C-alpha cells in the first residue's frame, strides 16, 4: 500500500480499536454494548469475499471521483441489512478513505478482520497461545514441503485447503488460530504462505506493543538463557520483545536472531564461515 492507502487503513484501524477496546459483555459500557467480536470478524470477512468476487463493487467503493461521504453511503446501501451495525460502521469509515488501488480496500478490510480475531483472543486471554500456534504452524510448513505445496497450490479449491487445515489442527490449536490460518491459505494477494503466517505472528505481538524475535538455536534454551536473551534484545530495540525459539541443528551452536528484516547471526556456523573467508583472502 502507498501513503494514501496506509493513511486510510490507519483511520479505519483507529475506529476499530475504539470499538474493540470496549469492556466485555456484562460490564457497564454506557449507551453502546460491546461488539460481538466473532460476528464482527464474520461480517468483515463476508465483505472481503464479496469484494474479491465483485470487481465492480470494489471499484465503486474506491472511486476517487466520488466524495468520501458518497462512498460511505453506498456502503450503507450495499451492506446495511446484511452485516452488524459495528461492521457497517467500519466498512463505511474504510469506504470514505482514499485508496490508491481498489484492491487496497479489500486487503485493508481483511487486515481489520485479523485484528478483530486477535482482539477476541486477547479478550479471552489466549493471545499468547494463538501467537505461538501461528509460529509453530509456519515452522511445520518450513519442514514439510509437501504440506506447504498442498496449502499454497493455486489450483487447489479454497474449501479443500481450509478442510485440510481443520483436520490438521483439530483439537491441537485454538479456534482463532485455525480460522486465521484458514483465511491465510485462501488469500491470493499475500503470496508466500509462510511469510503471511510470520506477518500474522507480528500483528499478534504488536497488540501488546511487542516485537517478534525469531531465535534459531541448535539446542533448546534454558529458562534463564531465554530471559537474558529477551532482556538484551529488548534493551537493544527499546521495546518489549516476544521470543519465538525454534531448534535448527544447522546452526551448530550459538543462536541466530531475526527481528523483522534485521538479522543477528551469532552461530558457530557463521563464525566458521567468516574464518574460512578470511583464510581464502
Q: Give residue-wise pLDDT tens across range 26-48.
A: 444 444 566 789 999 999 999 99
Q: Give residue-wise pLDDT tens across range 65-113.
A: 999 999 999 999 999 889 999 999 999 999 999 999 999 999 999 999 9
Q: Give residue-wise pLDDT tens across range 206-221.
A: 877 666 777 888 888 8
Q: Are residues 138 and 190 in the same domain?
A: yes
Q: What range defines the domain where residue 146 resides?
A: 128-208
Question: Dihedrals φ, ψ of 100, to 5°?
Answer: -65, -35
Owner of C-alpha cell 467500519: 90
Question: Dihedrals φ, ψ of 255, to 5°?
Answer: -140, 155
Other CB atoms within 10 A of residue 5 CB = 20
Q: Are residues 200 and 215 in the same domain?
A: no
Residue 173 β-bridge partners? none
CATH of the domain at 263: 3.40.30
Question: Which of residues 124, 149, 173 is at a domain's end?
Answer: 124
What is the domain count for the chain? 3
Q: Are residues 55 and 95 in the same domain?
A: yes
Question: Which of residues 124, 139, 166 is at a domain's end?
Answer: 124
Owner of C-alpha cell 480460522: 179
Q: Are residues 114 and 95 in the same domain?
A: yes
Q: Are residues 61 and 30 in the same domain?
A: yes
Owner of C-alpha cell 480496500: 105
Q: Are residues 60 and 99 in the same domain?
A: yes
Q: Are residues 183 and 137 in the same domain?
A: yes
Task: Give the pLDDT confidence score for residue 27 in this predicted structure.
Answer: 41
Q: Are residues 225 and 188 in the same domain?
A: no
More confident residue, 171 or 270: 171
Owner of C-alpha cell 547471526: 265
Question: Which of residues 156, 181, 208 is at a domain's end?
Answer: 208
Q: Are residues 46 and 19 in the same domain?
A: yes
Q: Are residues 118 and 135 in the same domain?
A: no
Question: Dihedrals φ, ψ of 213, to 5°?
Answer: -110, 115
Q: Are residues 168 and 247 in the same domain?
A: no
pTM of the model as a whole: 0.70
Q: Are residues 38 and 55 in the same domain?
A: yes
Amino acid at each position: 500500500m502507498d501513503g494514501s492507502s496506509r493513511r486510510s487503513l490507519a483511520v479505519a484501524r483507529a475506529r476499530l480499536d475504539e470499538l474493540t477496546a470496549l469492556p466485555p459483555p456484562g460490564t457497564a459500557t454506557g449507551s453502546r454494548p460491546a461488539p460481538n467480536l466473532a460476528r464482527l470478524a464474520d461480517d468483515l470477512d463476508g465483505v472481503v469475499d464479496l469484494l474479491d468476487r465483485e470487481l465492480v463493487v470494489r471499484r465503486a467503493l474506491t472511486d476517487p471521483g466520488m466524495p468520501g461521504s458518497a462512498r460511505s453511503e453506498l456502503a450503507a446501501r450495499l451492506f446495511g441489512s446484511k452485516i452488524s451495525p459495528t461492521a457497517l460502521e467500519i466498512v463505511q469509515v474504510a469506504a470514505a478513505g482514499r485508496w490508491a488501488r481498489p484492491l487496497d480496500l479489500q486487503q485493508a478490510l481483511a487486515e481489520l478482520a485479523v485484528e478483530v480475531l486477535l482482539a477476541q483472543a486477547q479478550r479471552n486471554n489466549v493471545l499468547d497461545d494463538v501467537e505461538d500456534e501461528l509460529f509453530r504452524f509456519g515452522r511445520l510448513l518450513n519442514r514439510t514441503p509437501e504440506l506447504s505445496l498442498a496449502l499454497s497450490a493455486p489450483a487447489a479449491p479454497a474449501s479443500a485447503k481450509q478442510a485440510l487445515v481443520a483436520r490438521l489442527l483439530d483439537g491441537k490449536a485454538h479456534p482463532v488460530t485455525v480460522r486465521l490460518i484458514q483465511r491465510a491459505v485462501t488469500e491470493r494477494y499475500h503470496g508466500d504462505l509462510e511469510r503471511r503466517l510470520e506477518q500474522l505472528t507480528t500483528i499478534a505481538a504488536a497488540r501488546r506493543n511487542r516485537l517478534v524475535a525469531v531465535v534459531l538455536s541448535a539446542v533448546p534454551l534454558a529458562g534463564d538463557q531465554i530471559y537474558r536473551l529477551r532482556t538484551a534484545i529488548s534493551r537493544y530495540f527499546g521495546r518489549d520483545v516476544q521470543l519465538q525459539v525454534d531448534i535448527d541443528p544447522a546452526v551448530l551452536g550459538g543462536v541466530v536472531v531475526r527481528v523483522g528484516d534485521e538479522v543477528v547471526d551469532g552461530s558457530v556456523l557463521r563464525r566458521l564461515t567468516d574464518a574460512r573467508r578470511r583464510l581464502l583472502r
